[in-house]
Amino acid sequence: MSQDIDFDRYDRIRPIRWTGDALELLDQRKLPFEVDYVRCADSDEVAAAIHALTVRGAPAIGISAAWGVVLATRDVQADSGAQALPLLEPAMQRLNAARPTAVNLAWALARMRRVLASAGADWREVLAREAQAISDEDLAANRHMGALGAALIAPGSGVMTHCNTGSLATAGFGTALGVIRAGVAQGRIGKVYAGETRPWLQGARLTSWELQQDGIAPTLVADAAAAHLMKTGAVQWVVVGADRICANGDTANKIGTYQLAISARHHGAKFMVVAPSSTVDMDTPSGEAIEIEERDPGEMFAIGGVRTAAHDIVAWNPVFDVTPHELIDAIVTEKGVIERPDAAAMRAAFGG
């Protein structure tokens, strides 16, 4: 079905640019009012950008980390990849520590280690080619997933999404937002609702802006209004991304996803998770084993630098929650669609 999609029309944004001597990252903290790229000249600057949410979204984090390894090679003198590997390991560990929950980060670094270990004198070129391959493969996978996921949606449906899973979070086109782009292009989606996604407001700041760039008019919804919206019958599918998918189909995603899955099941809407196979972690048996990242509680106290909370209070700020597989109707990866995911279905699709 991908032949029906005008990718040039619905895929205009690139958050990651490799210049040959630096990595340029679209600063997502400044969107939607300022489009500015941050230049990273070494691997620690890439790690800092990942941690600070300059770049975000599991696939984009993995791609950025791969280019961070390429930047780290400039400080290393070695005659082969095997010699370079232990010298690059500290930089890779710092990159890995920047965002521990997103499995794509560790996955991308593992790919870089693997090709490096067998590389010869051209090990620097080998790493650069691998980083570019990770990016190219992600874009191709997203376009394929868009077509697969859109095929599940009946024409004229209302769809709700959460956080940002589009071009800003990937090499391009997006995961869950790629399904929405494909669905709009094919006339399957009549209305798009974007949850605001507190406390960083990725839905309000990023998803709404990104859809506008492609001529798609989203309706912004307060996180607290999602269940009420579903009660009206306006939503037939909730389509979200993932930062980690476990061996039993449990899925970690942006905080607030779990409550959307509960509301969708209660109101008869379906729930779709869209992510590349690199997000699948068959070594993690269930969501109970996922390390849930917590960020500075201070992020809860203000919006856009303006304090909204009383002084001298405490806050709890988990970044992710886990949606149990029983609440997921379909997991879509570039390898295919897994309906009603469980441990057996995941093994059949991914082995392990």
**101-142 per-position pLDDT tens digit:** 778 899 999 999 999 999 999 999 999 999 999 999 999 999
Tell me how far apart the alpha carbons of residues 296 and 128 are, in angstroms, rounded to a whole number.
Answer: 34
Whether 253 has a binding-site annotation, put simply, is: yes
Whether 57 has a binding-site annotation, put simply, is: yes
Quote the pLDDT of residue 103.
83
Instruction: Find, among 262, 241, 263, the residue nearest to 252 by Cα.
Output: 241
- Mapped onto helix, strand or coil, the DSSP state of residue 165 is coil
Q: Which residues are catalytic?
A: 243
Whether 254 has a binding-site annotation, put simply, is: yes
pLDDT at 23 > cutoff 90: yes
Tell me how far apart the alpha carbons of residues 15 and 136 are, in angstroms, rounded to a whole number.
Answer: 14
The arithmetic mean of pLDDT across residues 234-261, rounded, is 97
Q: Express each pLDDT in 123-132 by its tens digit.
A: 999 999 999 9
What percentage of residues in the chain have a pLDDT greater than 70?
99
User: What sign does the dihedral 56-57-60-64 (CA atoms) show?
Assistant: positive
In this prediction, residue 277 has a pLDDT band, given cuts at 50, 70 and 90, of very high
pLDDT at 4 > cutoff 70: no
In this prediction, residue 87 has a pLDDT band, given cuts at 50, 70 and 90, of very high
Quote the pLDDT of residue 1.
43
Tell me how far apart the alpha carbons of residues 278 and 211 are, in angstroms, rounded to a whole number.
Answer: 25
Quote the pLDDT of residue 12.
81
Q: In a 10 Å sphere around its CB, with 0-12 CB exposed, 13-18 middle and 19+ buried, how is residue 346 labelled?
A: buried
pLDDT at 287 > cutoff 80: yes
Average pLDDT, whole number, for the chain?
Answer: 95
Q: Which helix (H) or strand (E) holds 61?
A: helix 58-72
Domains observed in the chain: 2-141 (1.20.120.420), 142-350 (3.40.50.10470)
Question: Which is higher by pLDDT, 64 or 13?
Answer: 64
Q: Express each pLDDT in 152-211 by its tens digit.
A: 999 999 999 999 999 999 999 999 999 999 999 999 999 999 999 999 999 999 999 999
Quote the pLDDT of residue 127.
98
Whether 3 has a binding-site annotation, put simply, is: no
Whether 305 has a binding-site annotation, put simply, is: no
Question: Which is higher by pLDDT, 75 or 148?
Answer: 148
Q: Express each pLDDT in 304-343 by its tens digit.
A: 889 999 999 999 999 999 999 999 999 999 999 999 999 9
pTM of the predicted model, to two decimals? 0.89
